[in-house]
Structures are given as structure tokens and as C-alpha cells.
């Protein structure tokens, strides 16, 4: 989330960093650029560098509240006024970080851009206390005013960055005097509130990982054993204390779920509607921001000015949050770090009219899993989508891989025995992969989880031909429960011919329920958004839907008591029922893309 440590490069470049470090110490800038461009930076489709670089260290200004905001500035030699690339990042100064920052700053500067890499409030040489997100609009606007006064500034401004420094772009996206002319936002969206509370449950592993990593004036290495210790007990508002130390912003994220004023200071209001420049959005299928980032794209196309909407682009790759999870099979790597910078020069050059290269970036570009290839599209969601219902069936014993739970496109002809299970908050279904912050994101085997009695399993027959699912996925279920408040979860799974089951996407819904009257069930219709995806279920594979009431610690546990989640300590078990019949047609809704050939 605030991962300023590995700006763009994979860990395999460590020896190269050491070499560059010695070259930096010796002042061999030409060697630095040669090595970085040969081994570390994208060059395909990027115009040749044509400038030397000179660097200013510790440049900045004092904000209106007396806090110093400090930056390093990379200038192309031989140009009096230049377009600017502004990056506002919660930077942690380390030897490796310094090398990486210099490499990427020089990469852009050698192509005629002045690059300003500013350390946000409370980080490295910038003053003040670090508290993520809340200061970025005010500090960002004052930074723009400072830029306007610089002798090298030619009034063309681009911004770049992901996660927390993607947020710094959205925070000033409505500014015009001066303001950005083009944005490149990856793995971030206009709504951190929705990212933290999908389906009204808290993204616990993501929130705690961020707090453990980013508390204080520098980033820290997260020990996953500490994180697990933090989430194991109640109340969850003390998870950070158990994991290593109380963190003010973690507490605030939990305490202010329903505080509109708190989140408006961070997220603003309708920032996609007031956007004044084109934006390139880069998302990942296993990134926590995916649903809100695709929502941003849709809102820009629908509500922004025509000249902004028509130029905005969307890329969705096989990535987690600043990571490249391994996909099943022998899949050629598409490293996030490289891909997050590769389009920057062509994108910025196009918007500023620099150079004579043909700009051929598609409106939408997606990585289709299963087939494992990139494909260009014209819109999102795809106009040719056929939303198809796959209905749940069983004899009341879907809580087992050996049960009768099935999925097909036929509505039940009559009554069917509903499926029942017990959800015990003290024995939650453990998370396996998914869209979380940290090393456990991505694709993992689900087979062990499917052996649990509290995980209902519904599968299609082996497919006679490939079937593509691309777009938002949803489950519509008819449910009842014995408790006043509980969760229901759903997970889309790709089952390979050998029985290996891999997660594709998942979702959760948390809400209150009316109790059963006189012992009779009164089903409630619920909708669970399983997030967008793009996956081809290949011939011989099966489509599977898992239903339960926990996915922990991807989401926090519902205690089933109706108490406030952050401070709840008492738990009760819930008797859960899933109905599937002609009257209650529970179903998985898949966005099917018609295919003529594979």
C-alpha cells in the first residue's frame, strides 16, 4: 500500500543495485544509465534517451502550516523549460531505495522531463508526523503552487504512482491553476473506504499489513507470524497492538467505517466527475483496489468531460498489489514492476505531443487468465458480454466434496432440500490467496478448504469446450440465519482435470437479518459481488462456487452478535441455510464472452 521500498524493480536485481551503488559513489552516471537501461528498465516502444541529467537534492518549500516538504529533482541537461513528472511518495531512505529512485528519475529526465520525487509529510526529509492519505490534498495543492514558480516549469505536468502515491494524484485531479495534464494511476482508486469495506466487512489482512509496514517515519519489514498473532484474537481494534504496536490510523479505519466526514477528507467527493485530465489506470486481478478502480474507469467514461473520457485508458494484468503472483501452469511472467513504468513515456509523450511515434495504446487492455494472454478491448465491461445464471442444486449435502452440489444453467423445477452448515467465528474458514496486501495474495489451491463441513461446494460437469468469463461476477442467494447479524461469502474456483482447485475471485456480504418466526425459515435474498475477473475455463475444467460465512483474515470475522465489529469480543455460532429451488433460485451470475475460436 505504501510500498516505497521496491519502486519498480524485482528482487533479482540486487547484485545490479550493488554495482550501481558503487558507480554512484564513484560518480559514474553514464555507467549507471547504461546498466539500468540494459538490465532494469523497459525500452521496447520507448523513444531513445537524448539528454544528460543533473540532480538537485533536498529541494522544497515550507507549507502553510510550517511543515517542510522536500524533494529530489532530476533535470535534463540543455533544456531551459521542460514538462514535469511529479511523484509524491511516502519515501523511506535506504541504500537500495536511493539507487532505485535515482534510476527511475534519470530514466525520465534523460528523455526531456524534469522529475520531482517529493517525500510526503512525515517521511524521510519532509517534516511533520506521518499519517497516510489525509494530508495529500492540502499538501498536493501547495506543491502545485510551488511548481508553478520554478524557472524550469513549462506548465505541462504529469503525475505517476501507485497505491498511496496513486492517491496523491487523485487528491489534486481537479486542480487547474496549476494542475496535472495527465495522470498514470496504478493499484489505487478514488475510494479507500470501499477498498477497506467490500460488502461491509473489513479487509483485515490488508489493513493490518499496511499498519505494520508503514507506522512511523519509515517502512518496516512485516513478519507474517506477527500479523497472524495480531488477527487471531478479539477485539480486532487491538490486532495492531498484538502484532507489534498501536497504530493511530489502523484504529481510525476501524472506528470510522460509517463516518462520512473522515472518509471524505481522504476520498473527496465524485473525483471521477471533476477530473480535468486523461488518466491511465493500471489494475491487477488480485489487487484490493480492483473493483473500485474499474468503477473509476466506468465513472470517468460516463461522467467526465468528453475530452477526458475519450482519452482515458485501462490496463488490468495478472497482478496483486505491486506484485506478480504465480499463476497455475507454466505461465510466462508479466512482472508488475516493469509493466508499471513501461507505458509511462509513450503515454506522457502522447498527451504532450512529444515525438513522432504512433500512439497505439488500446482503450482497454486485459490479461485473460487460463489462456494467459493479453488482449485489446474497446470498453469495460465488454459490450458483447452475456450474463448467464448458473443455478445451485443439491440434495441438501453440498457441505462436502463427495456431496451432490452442482451448478448448471437450468432453474430448479420444484423444491430442493436446502443446504445447511454452522458458522463458528472461533473456527473460521482460513483464507487461501485472493486480493490482499502482502505476500499471501494471488492464486492458491482450495482443495483442503473444500473438505470442511462449513464450505458448501457446487460444481459444473467437466466443460465440453472452453468458456470465457470476463467482467463482474455476482452470486444471488436466498439465505436464512439464526443470528441477528452474519456474513455470507462466495468464491469462484477453476477446477482442473486432475482435481486441483484454484481461486479466481471472491466476495462477502455483511448485513443484519430478521430472526426466524415460530421456527419457520424466511429466506432473504442477498447479492454478493465476487469482483471482476477474466479467466478462460478450459475444456475438461469445471466451474465451482464455494459458499461459506468466513474468509479469514482476508476479511474480519463476524461475531454473529450484532455488536460493533471493532470492539466485539463475544461470539455465537450461526445456523446458516442456503435455499435453491424454483421459488428461491440461488445462482452464480457469470459474464460469459462468446468465443468463435480458441
List b or e across 509-541, with b for residues whose CB sees 16 or more CB atoms inside 10 angstroms.
bbeebeeeeeeebebbebebbbbbbbbbbbeeb
Phi and psi (nearest 5°) for 457? Answer: -125, 125
* Catalytic choice (75, 186, 321, 350): 321
All cell numbers assigned to 479:
439465505
Distances (CA, A) of 302 to 283, 299, 485, 512, 556: 19, 5, 36, 33, 34
All cell numbers assigned to 118:
517529493
Active site residue 287: yes
All cell numbers assigned to 455:
464450505
How far apart CA 550 and CA 132 sit, in angstroms, is 29
The single residue listed with the C-alpha cell 466487512 is: 201
Phi and psi (nearest 5°) for 190? Answer: -80, -10
How far apart CA 427 and CA 550 sit, in angstroms, is 9
The single residue listed with the C-alpha cell 475438461 is: 540
428: left (phi over 0), alpha (psi -120 to 50) or beta: beta
How far apart CA 533 and CA 541 sit, in angstroms, is 17
* Catalytic choice (3, 240, 267, 287): 287
How far apart CA 376 and CA 575 sit, in angstroms, is 46
How far apart CA 576 and CA 360 sit, in angstroms, is 52
* Catalytic choice (49, 163, 441, 482): 163
How far apart CA 67 and CA 59 sit, in angstroms, is 14
Enumerate long-range contacts of 378-381, CB under 8 Å, 24 or more apart.
379/301, 380/294, 380/297, 380/298, 380/314, 380/471, 381/470, 381/471, 381/472, 381/532, 381/591
3-state secondary structure of 138: helix
How far apart CA 257 and CA 78 sit, in angstroms, is 52
Rounded (10°) CA dihedral 172, 173, 179, 182: 130
How far apart CA 384 and CA 273 sit, in angstroms, is 26
How many residues does the structure list for the chain?
598
Strand partners, 479: 524, 578
Query: Could you count the other beta carbons within 10 Å of the beta carbon of residue 251?
Result: 17
Instruction: Look at residues 422, 140, 136 and name the one whose alpha carbon lies nearest to residue 267.
Output: 136
Active site residue 415: no
Active site residue 349: no
What is the DSSP secondary structure assignment for residue 258, as one 8-state letter? T
Calculate Rg over the CA atoms of the chain: 25
Provide the pairing of β-strand 467-481 with 524-537.
Answer: antiparallel
Instruction: Look at residues 287, 305, 309, 339 and name the one whose alpha carbon lies nearest to residue 44.
Output: 339
How far apart CA 230 and CA 341 sit, in angstroms, is 35
Question: Are residues 266 and 193 in contact, defined by beta-carbon separation less than 8 angstroms?
Answer: yes
How far apart CA 306 and CA 288 sit, in angstroms, is 29
Helix/strand/coil (H/E/C) assignment for every residue in 542-563: EEEEEEECCCECCCCCCCCCCC
- Which residues are known to be catalytic? 163, 287, 321
Amino acid at each position: 500500500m505504501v510500498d516505497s521500498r521496491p519502486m519498480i524493480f524485482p528482487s533479482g536485481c540486487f547484485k545490479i543495485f550493488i554495482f550501481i551503488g558503487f558507480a554512484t559513489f564513484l560518480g559514474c552516471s553514464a555507467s549507471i544509465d547504461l546498466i539500468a537501461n540494459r538490465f532494469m528498465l523497459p525500452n521496447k516502444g520507448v523513444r531513445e534517451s537524448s539528454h544528460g541529467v543533473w540532480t538537485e537534492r533536498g529541494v522544497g518549500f515550507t507549507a502553510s502550516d510550517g511543515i517542510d516538504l522536500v524533494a529530489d529533482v532530476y533535470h535534463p541537461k540543455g533544456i531551459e523549460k521542460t514538462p514535469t513528472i511529479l511523484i509524491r511518495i511516502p519515501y523511506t531512505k535506504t541504500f537500495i531505495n536511493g539507487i532505485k529512485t535515482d534510476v527511475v528519475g534519470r530514466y525520465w529526465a534523460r528523455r526531456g522531463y524534469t522529475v520531482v520525487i517529493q517525500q510526503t509529510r512525515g517521511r524521510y526529509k519532509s517534516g511533520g508526523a506521518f499519517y497516510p492519505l489525509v494530508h495529500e490534498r492540502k499538501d498536493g495543492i501547495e506543491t502545485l503552487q510551488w511548481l508553478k514558480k520554478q524557472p524550469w516549469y513549462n506548465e505541462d505536468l504529469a503525475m505517476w504512482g501507485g497505491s498511496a502515491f496513486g492517491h496523491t494524484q487523485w487528491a489534486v485531479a481537479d486542480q487547474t491553476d496549476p494542475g496535472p495534464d495527465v495522470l498514470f494511476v496504478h493499484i489505487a482508486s478514488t475510494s479507500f473506504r470501499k477498498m477497506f469495506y467490500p460488502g461491509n466487512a473489513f479487509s483485515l489482512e490488508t489493513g493490518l499489513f499496511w499498519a505494520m509496514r508503514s507506522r512511523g517515519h519509515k517502512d518496516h519489514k512485516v513478519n507474517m507470524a506477527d500479523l497472524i498473532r495480531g488477527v487471531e484474537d478479539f477485539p480486532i481494534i487491538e490486532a495492531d497492538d498484538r502484532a507489534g504496536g498501536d497504530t493511530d490510523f489502523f484504529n481510525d479505519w476501524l472506528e470510522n467505517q460509517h463516518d462520512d466526514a473522515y472518509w471524505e477528507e481522504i476520498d473527496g467527493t465524485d473525483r471521477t466527475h471533476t477530473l480535468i485530465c486523461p488518466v491511465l489506470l493500471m489494475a491487477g486481478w488480485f489487487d484490493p483496489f480492483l473493483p473500485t478502480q474499474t468503477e473509476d474507469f466506468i465513472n470517468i467514461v460516463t461522467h467526465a468531460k468528453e475530452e477526458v473520457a475519450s482519452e482515458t485508458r485501462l490496463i488490468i494484468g495478472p497482478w496483486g498489489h505491486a506484485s506478480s503472483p504465480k499463476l497455475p501452469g507454466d505461465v510466462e511472467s508479466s512482472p508488475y514492476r516493469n509493466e508499471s513504468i513501461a507505458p509511462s513515456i509513450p503515454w506522457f509523450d502522447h498527451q504532450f505531443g512529444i515525438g513522432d511515434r504512433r500512439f497505439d495504446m488500446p482503450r482497454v487492455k486485459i490479461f485473460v487468465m487460463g489462456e494467459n494472454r493479453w488482449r485489446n478491448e474497446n470498453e469495460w465491461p465488454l459490450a458483447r458480454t452475456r450474463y448467464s445464471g448458473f443455478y445451485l442444486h443439491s440434495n441438501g449435502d453440498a457441505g462436502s466434496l463427495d456431496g451432490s452440489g452442482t451448478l448448471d444453467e437450468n432453474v430448479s423445477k420444484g423444491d430442493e432440500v436446502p443446504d445447511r452448515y454452522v458458522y463458528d467465528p472461533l473456527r473460521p474458514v482460513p483464507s487461501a490467496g485472493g486480493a490482499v496486501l502482502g505476500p499471501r495474495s494471488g492464486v492458491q489451491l482450495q482443495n483442503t478448504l473444500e473438505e470442511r463441513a462449513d464450505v458448501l461446494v457446487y460444481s459444473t460437469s467437466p466443460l465440453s469446450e472452453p468458456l470465457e468469463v470476463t467482467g463482474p461476477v455476482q452470486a444471488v442467494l436466498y439465505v436464512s440465519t439464526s443470528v441477528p447479524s452474519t456474513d455470507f461469502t462466495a468464491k469462484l474456483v477453476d477446477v482442473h482435470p486432475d482435481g486441483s482447485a484454484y481461486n479466481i475471485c471472491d466476495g462477502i456480504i455483511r448485513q443484519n437479518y430478521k430472526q426466524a418466526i415460530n421456527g419457520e425459515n424466511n429466506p432473504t435474498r442477498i447479492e454478493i459481488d465476487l469482483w471482476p475477473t477474466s479467466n478462460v475455463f478450459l475444456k475438461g475444467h469445471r466451474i465451482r462456487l464455494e459458499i461459506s460465512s468466513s474468509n479469514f483474515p482476508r476479511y474480519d470475522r463476524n461475531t454473529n452478535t450484532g455488536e460493533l465489529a471493532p470492539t466485539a469480543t463475544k461470539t455465537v455460532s450461526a445456523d446458516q441455510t442456503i435455499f435453491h429451488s424454483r421459488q428461491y433460485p440461488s445462482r452464480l451470475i457469470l459474464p460469459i464472452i462468446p468465443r468463435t475460436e480458441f
